[in-house]
Amino acid sequence: MKKVIELKGVTMQFGGVTALNDVNLHVNEGEILALIGPNGAGKTTVFNVITGVYKPTKGDIVFNEELSVVGKKRWQITEAGIARTFQNVRLFGEMTALENVITAGDVRSKSGFVGSLFGLPRSRREEKANREKAMELLKFLGIDHVAHKLGKNLPYGDQRRLEIARALGTQPKLLLLDEPAAGFNPSEKVALAETIKKIRDAGYTILLIEHDMSLIMGISDRVAVLDFGTKIADDSPQVVQNDARVIEAYLGVPADAS
């Protein structure tokens, strides 16, 4: 089974603070791996080093077993096939839903500035194809009915789904979801879980940060746990749920023996 992304001995230090400490982590192709841990454990930092926002102090991050993403530019990493959503919704608020996704799809276009200016055939073809694909993605996420509404005017649930649609617009191999269920009520969370499974079934590999345990247990193939920048568990959901160290990290007291 191919490792779509692998963190090898990744350490991330900011001045005196060690956000990630010798983390070894990988996600297999077609898997849904959930990354959990108490607040401040370093989960979003993992996303940030993978996507090139930060350069790890030590260690390597390998994509698809062939490309080291450390030191690459952010757009290059996206072009390689990694996309993400954000903890706080960060849409292009003054663009429509459709435009958000089309902008993400531009990374796959080969036509350049001149082609766009003079309306060369390849540019026009790519525009049309991009637009159609974007519309499909909106349908896939169930938000095609708001395709022409501005991002900032969408209801919260639609915004969250648009973020996912936009990330998918870059045609990634690996999708990073940062707390996609934040602010959702239970029925919305169930719908989101179905959507994430649908995305995985369509061929994407997913690395997911979440706090809602039932959501995670329901859809994850594996769960990795971070605490103060160190990975303390990495196994199937059932095993991790009962791991004493994990329980201690969250609750702060040793689990009762009986």
Partner 1 sequence: MDFSVLVDQFFALTIDGIALGFIYSLIALGYTMVYGVLRLINFANSEVFMLGTFATIITSKNIFGYADDTEPLTGMKLVYTLLACMLVSMLVCAITGVLVEIVAYRRLRKTGSNRLTTLISAIGVSIVISETVRILTSSAPANNPRLLDKIYLVSYAGTEFYIGSVRIPVSAFEVRLDTLLVIIFAILLLFAVDRFVKNTRLGKGIRAVSMSEQNSQLMGVNLNKVISSTFFIAGLMTGAAAFFYTTVYESTKFNVGFELGLAAFTAAVLGGIGNIRGAFFGGIALGILEIYAATVFGTQWKAVTAFVVLVLVLLFKPNGLFGESLQQARV
Partner 2 sequence: MAINIRDKGAEIWERSPKPARVAIASLTMIFAICLPFFGGTFLNTPISSYEAVLVYPVGLFVLMALGLNIVVGKSGLLDLGYVAFFAIGAYTMAILGTTTSLNFWEIMPIGIGLAMISGVILGLPTLRLRGDYLAIVTLGFGEIVRIVALNTMAIGGPNGIANIPTPPKFLSLEYTLQNQKAYYWTVLALIFLVIWMIRRLSTRRPGRAWESIRQDEDVADLMGVRTLKYKIWAFAIGAAIGGAGGVVFAAKSMFVAPEMFTLNTSILILACVVFGGMGNIWGVITGAIILAYLPERIRFISDARLLIFGLTLVVMMNLRADGILPRKKREKSLTS
Write out the residues near partner 2 by the rule CB under 8 A: 51, 53, 74-75, 78-79, 83-84, 86, 90, 92-96, 98-99, 102-104, 106-107, 109, 111, 113, 116-117, 119, 123, 127, 131, 148-150, 166-167, 169-170
Question: Which residue, 48 or 170, has its beta carbon nearer to partner 1?
Answer: 48
Q: Is 86 in the site for partner 1 (CB under 8 A)?
A: yes
Q: Is 96 in the site for partner 1 (CB under 8 A)?
A: no
Question: Which residue, 45 or 220, has its beta carbon nearer to partner 1?
Answer: 45
User: Residue 220: which of partner 1, partner 2, none does it interact with, CB under 5 to 8 A by kind?
Assistant: none
CB of residue 143 to partner 2, shortest distance in Å: 14
Phi, then psi, of 236 in degrees rounded to 5 = -70, 160
| DSSP calls for 104-117 | HHGGG----HHHHH
Of 48, 97, 95, 89, the closest CA to residue 180 belongs to 89
The gap from C-alpha 84 to its chain's centroid, in whole angstroms, comes to: 4
Phi, then psi, of 45 in degrees rounded to 5 = -60, -35
CB of residue 49 to partner 2, shortest distance in Å: 13
CB of residue 53 to partner 1, shortest distance in Å: 5
Q: Judge whether 215 and 181 are in contact, CB under 8 Å.
A: yes
Question: Which residue, 58 or 148, has its beta carbon nearer to partner 2?
Answer: 148
The rounded distance, in Å, linking the Cα atoms of 232 and 21 is 11
Q: Judge whether 208 and 220 are in contact, CB under 8 Å.
A: yes
Helix (H, G, I), strand (E, B) or coil at 154: coil
Q: Which pairing describes strands 230-235 and 222-227: parallel, antiparallel, or unpaired?
A: antiparallel
Structure tokens, 21: 């400490």
Q: Is 48 in the site for partner 1 (CB under 8 A)?
A: yes
User: Residue 55: which of partner 1, partner 2, none does it interact with, CB under 5 to 8 A by kind?
Assistant: none
CB of residue 94 to partner 1, shortest distance in Å: 12
User: Which residues of this protein are in contact with partner 1, per CB under 8 A?
Assistant: 48, 53, 86
